[in-house]
Amino acid sequence: MAMENLKTFLFSLCSAAAVGIVAVIFVLRWVLHYKEGLAWDGGLAEFNWHPVLMVTGFVFLQGMAIIVYRLPWTWTYSKVTMKFIHAGLHFVAFVLAVISTVAVFDFHNAAKIPNMYSLHSWLGLAILLLHCLQLVLGFGLFLLPVAPMAWRAAFMPLHVYTGHFVFTSVIAVTLMGITEKLIFGLRNPAYKDSPAEAVFVNVLGVLLVAFGALILWIATRASWKRPSDQLLHTLHTSGGGEDPKALSQLSEESAAGDVRRRSNKLEDQVH
Amino acid sequence: MAMENLKTFLFSLCSAAAVGIVAVIFVLRWVLHYKEGLAWDGGLAEFNWHPVLMVTGFVFLQGMAIIVYRLPWTWTYSKVTMKFIHAGLHFVAFVLAVISTVAVFDFHNAAKIPNMYSLHSWLGLAILLLHCLQLVLGFGLFLLPVAPMAWRAAFMPLHVYTGHFVFTSVIAVTLMGITEKLIFGLRNPAYKDSPAEAVFVNVLGVLLVAFGALILWIATRASWKRPSDQLLHTLHTSGGGEDPKALSQLSEESAAGDVRRRSNKLEDQVH
């Protein structure tokens, strides 16, 4: 990466990390300072795990998982190591999202509030299931050494697109959740009277949008990819549909390289 | 475009158009059947223009504007003609969004409800202003024959990214608006009791997400671009950061080609 390009990358990365960390601090301050704190008691303090774990796991960790291949200091690591870090971060994000979902079901059941009535809940559960499917398919296709190399090449653009779609949708669903909670949770003064909590949590929403925008900016700049992936990207995007044979050949070579590196790695670990 | 690729494109395009049109029908049925209908009276029937114009203009027309360069039967038209169609659709979308915003301010003022207190309103207004900026900059840089060709090349990736960001954000903000309206608008039975209107409008929300996903899928498949844009894309994505000189040279040639075509076109119109 040229120096000028590297500087822009590092600036974008630091901005994304800073905005993401501030968002996590904001959601913690929201539930600890303005709300009932955190507990696992079936009450409002259990509900509060829902925004905390969604922002920390499904937004922040998932965002980091998406851009982990872009970090230039990891380009000397084997691709399979990075795949494990990518999958691991997504897995932790998924587990936190599941716990977060259990918290809100528990709270609803204890308070006799119906489950799954809102657009927020419909889209949220759909995206959680899609993220799970993406995890399973991603693991089976790109980490287990069983999938034919042509399948990997064919599936990669869909994997990337679905990943960006899930991440974007998670932020959109979080914004809907913030809206619901501010309407239901604020009485005297109500949301429309703009108490301090309302303004504070609106700012959290703005931070989440900024975080999403920065992560997707980093993820979609092709010149910030791992050098080995840039060649593949060029063929994907310029050759797609016109010369699938050349594409799949290159992908086979690249994937075969992965397998070789993986077996080297395994030998390293055994020896 | 190869035949197989063309079929997939047409299937995606028809799906996007169908889902978008069904979403417009849904928002119309929502306000005409379940709500107070449409009027310009400062009351709820004026508010109802807000969702109708946002879904029709800012979501559907803006989505079409984004993919208008992808239609293979337009590839024989000059690029500048397509730019005018692209900019024209975005401009109509913007005008409808402004009228839609006026409707909700009118309604709030008449009903003594504060303006601009919600996250929906903050993000919505910010995105409307960003869309306006994008329109003005896009017009000045890519349609007026004044911007240096190197600027056009440098600005294009940001123009595309910002366009996708605005479109995605509009859908996210619309989902927040639906959430607000279902909570405030449904009493006895309330939103949580899942009356028919709640389920119907939740489905509208799902349709909007599906429409956004299809439009962004179409927009981000490089092999579905205008053939003249594919070469530029390849250099943008594979050369970016490594060889900016080659990129800017090619862009100058391409942009110069645009200018030549534009002057030809003008001559065609004059003669």
Q: Which pLDDT tens digit goes with each residue over A88-101?
A: 999 999 999 999 99
- The Cα A152–Cα A155 span in angstroms is 5
Token digits of residue B172 = 């996210």
Q: What is the reported pLDDT for A4?
A: 86
Q: Nearest Cα to B241, choosing from A60, A223, A112?
A: A223
* Residues from chain B contacting residue A119 (CB–CB below 8 Å): 175, 178-179, 182, 201-202, 205-206
Q: What is the mean pLDDT of residues B84-97?
A: 98
Tell me the one-letter amino acid at B110: A
Residues in B 76-95 with any Cβ partner in A closer than 8 A: none
Q: What is the mean pLDDT of residues B103-111?
A: 98
Domain extent listing, chain A: 3-226
Q: What is the reported pLDDT for B230?
A: 75
Q: Which residues contact B44 (CB under 8 A, 6 or more apart)?
A: B35, B36, B107
Distance from CA of B138 to the nearest CA of A (A): 19
User: B112: phi > 0 → left, psi -120 to 50 → alpha, else beta; which?
Assistant: left
- CB of B162 within 8 Å of a chain A CB? The answer is no
Q: Which pLDDT tens digit goes with each residue over B57-81?
A: 999 999 999 999 999 999 999 999 9
What single-letter DSSP state applies at residue B114? P
Confidence tier at A231 by pLDDT (50, 70, 90) = low
Confidence tier at A229 by pLDDT (50, 70, 90) = confident
Distance from CA of A81 to the nearest CA of B (A): 25
- CB of B11 within 8 Å of a chain A CB? The answer is no
Confidence tier at A1 by pLDDT (50, 70, 90) = confident
Q: Which pLDDT tens digit goes with each residue over B3-55?
A: 889 999 999 999 999 999 999 999 999 999 999 999 999 999 999 999 999 99
- The Cα A114–Cα B190 span in angstroms is 11
What single-letter DSSP state applies at residue A146? T
Q: What is the reported pLDDT for A2?
A: 83
Tell me the one-letter amino acid at B184: F
Q: Nearest Cα to B202, choosing from B30, B76, B55, B50?
A: B30
Q: Is A114 helix (H, G, I), strand (E, B) or coil?
A: coil
**Cβ–Cβ gap A193/B242 under 8 Å:** no
Q: What is the reported pLDDT for B232?
A: 62
**Cβ–Cβ gap A222/B230 under 8 Å:** no
Q: What is the mean pLDDT of residues A62-87?
A: 96
Looking at CATH, the fold of the domain delimited by B3-226 is given as: Four Helix Bundle (Hemerythrin (Met), subunit A) (1.20.120)
Q: What is the reported pLDDT for A47?
A: 98
Residues in B 115-134 with any Cβ partner in A closer than 8 A: 117-120, 122-123
* Residues from chain B contacting residue A179 (CB–CB below 8 Å): 118-120, 176, 179-180
Helices B149-185, A149-185: crossing angle, 10 deg rounding: 50
Distance from CA of A193 to the nearest CA of B (A): 7
**Cβ–Cβ gap A209/B123 under 8 Å:** yes
**Cβ–Cβ gap B180/A175 under 8 Å:** no
Residue to mutate among A112, A223, A242, with most B CBs inside 10 A, is A223
Q: Is the pLDDT of residue A211 over 60?
A: yes
**Cβ–Cβ gap A241/B4 under 8 Å:** yes
Express as a percent the part of chain A with pLDDT over 70: 85
Q: What is the reported pLDDT for A236?
A: 52
Q: Which residue intervals of A69-144 are DSSP H helices? A: 79-110, 119-138
- The Cα A240–Cα A227 span in angstroms is 20
Confidence tier at B187 by pLDDT (50, 70, 90) = very high
Q: Is the pLDDT of residue B109 over 70?
A: yes
- The Cα A267–Cα A34 span in angstroms is 54
Q: Which pLDDT tens digit goes with each residue over B114-170?
A: 999 999 999 999 999 999 999 999 999 999 999 999 999 999 999 999 999 999 999
Residues in A 183-222 with any Cβ partner in B closer than 8 A: 183-184, 191-194, 198, 201-202, 205-206, 209, 213, 216-217, 220-222
Q: What is the mean pLDDT of residues B185-190?
A: 96
Q: Nearest Cα to B82, choosing from B91, B70, B92?
A: B70
- The Cα A225–Cα A237 span in angstroms is 14
Residue to mutate among A209, A236, A247, with most B CBs inside 10 A, is A209
- CB of B176 within 8 Å of a chain A CB? The answer is yes
Q: What is the average pLDDT score of chain A?
A: 89
Alpha-carbon distances, residue A222 vs A231, A235, A241 (angstroms): 10, 12, 19
Q: Nearest Cα to A236, choosing from A154, A159, A161, A162?
A: A154
Q: What is the reported pLDDT for B239?
A: 40
Residue position matching structure tokens 């230039």: A72
**Cβ–Cβ gap B175/A176 under 8 Å:** yes
Q: What is the reported pLDDT for A104?
A: 98
Q: Which pLDDT tens digit goes with each residue over A101-153?
A: 999 999 999 999 999 999 999 999 999 999 999 999 999 999 999 999 999 99
